[in-house]
Amino acid sequence: MRPVPDAPALLLEPTRRTDPRTIVVADIHLGLGSSVERPLGPPEGSADRLAGALVALARTHRAGAVLIAGDAKHPIVGTPPALRPVVFDFFAELLHEGLEVDLVLGNHDVGIVRHLPREVSVHPATGLVRGGVGVFHGHRWPSNAVLKAPTLVAGHLHPGFRLAPTADNPEGKLRCWVRVERTPAVGRAHRRRRHIEPRAHEVVILPAFNPIAGTESLNRERPARGRSFLYRRFLASGEARAFLLDGTDLGKLTTSYETGPRSREAGRSQRGR
């Protein structure tokens, strides 16, 4: 498994000769910024451009499968009528290329299944294991089968870094990867617990594939999505580092705001707002 240079995608090598290479992405957010008059969305994040980018990645890297780790569409509740053919056509274009397509459901994917081509394999939000890698979206705790995997991949956080603004990027936000090296906890599992402790030595948080999806600045004092268990149970459980899409190492992330008493107080104050 390795990041695709200059792209928010992973390339997963097969463990068996009969299996295809797989492009893994997350947070497509079809319909973001769309309207009845412009159902495909803004040009830079339009459904046809995103589908074309995935097809191009598959061709370049000789991949035969695409795995989307959640949030294929943007509206959280249901799929508006104008977006339904957009969703169908997006997946149909991937299938027309001869790609196997898997979708792990994300928190934005409520009601999407009925609008997908029947050839798309849909998996619950608790994730799946592909080639020894456990893939889930990140808004729900993964299944025990996923937690047993030595490597975990998730989306949901839209990780990014805020750097100096430029003319092309006035906000200074850039998408980034997060890679966590961790030592699994050793000890007997609690019988009453429904889920086992994660056994992964490595956790990767995917950047959002849609370039206009919001990015969460991880070098802020407290990211807005800091209440996610991904921070507390994964990013803070080992050494987390951030990397730009071109591979630039941004250094170690500070996750202390997730574990100390001040963070709990901040969380309570946010919930009270």
In the structure, what pLDDT confidence band is assigned to residue 227 with cuts at 50, 70 and 90? low
Q: Listing from the earlier edge strand, what are the strands of the sheet with 121-123?
A: 2-3, 10-12, 22-25, 65-68, 100-104, 121-123
Alpha helices in 70-214 (DSSP H): 84-96, 144-147
The answer to which of 53-62, 93-102, 229-238, 242-251 has the lowest mean pLDDT is: 229-238
Assign 81 to helix, strand or coil.
helix
Q: Are 23 and 65 in contact (CB under 8 A)?
A: yes
* Distance separating alpha carbons of residues 85 and 91, to the nearest angstrom: 10
Its pTM surpasses 0.85: yes
Please provide the size of the chain in residues: 273
Angle at 118 between CA 113 and CA 123, to 5 degrees: 50
For residue range 59-102, list pLDDT tens digits in order.
999 999 999 999 999 998 889 898 999 999 999 999 999 999 99
DSSP string, 48-64: HHHHHHHHHHHHHTT--
Better pLDDT: 267 or 161: 161
235 DSSP assignment:
G
Q: How many CB atoms lie within 10 A of CB 100?
A: 17
Q: What is the mean pLDDT of the chain?
A: 86
For residue range 90-110, list pLDDT tens digits in order.
999 999 999 999 999 999 999
